[in-house]
Amino acid sequence: MQTVSDIFALWRSDADLGRDIGLPYPTVAAWKQRGSIPAAYWRDLIRAAHRRGHVNVTADLLAELHARKRLDGSLGFAEDEPAKLMPTPQEAVSPSGLQSPGHFSRWGHLRRAHFASMEEINSHVYALREEWGRR
């Protein structure tokens, strides 16, 4: 097995996999679309695969399939990679002058991680409320 897709291919359908591990079809279909199975469900998946005779599905295999290749060719996980900061509103604007695509991308600069303290968040919220009150 070379990819996470190969794991899904062991079952006739996503619904069958869902039934085997006790989850609804949409959950399994979302995993398949993302190409990733949450680690919290690996044990159930391994047991279901073994019940179907696929003893080659192991935790080591799942970990290897979910590891990401780094530029140096070694394997690592997303948690090991440095966090990427959200672009500022000015950076989020495309060359054509339109906002870059993405859900609420124009509000990315207001994420909690961009504030130094809880007091800073509270003062920002207070300022927003004052501004809203003036309108």
- Res 72: pLDDT: 52
Query: Could you give all domains of the chain from N- to C-terminal order, each with its CATH number?
Result: 4-80 (1.10.260), 83-135 (no CATH)
CA distance 57 to 8: 11
CA distance 68 to 4: 12
Contact 108, 89 (CB under 8 A): yes
**Which H or E element spans position 21?**
helix 14-21
Contact 1, 65 (CB under 8 A): yes
pLDDT tens per residue across all 135 residues of the chain: 788 889 999 999 999 999 999 999 999 999 999 888 998 999 999 999 999 999 999 999 998 888 865 555 555 554 445 545 555 555 555 555 554 455 555 555 565 566 667 787 778 788 878 877 877
- Res 82: pLDDT: 52
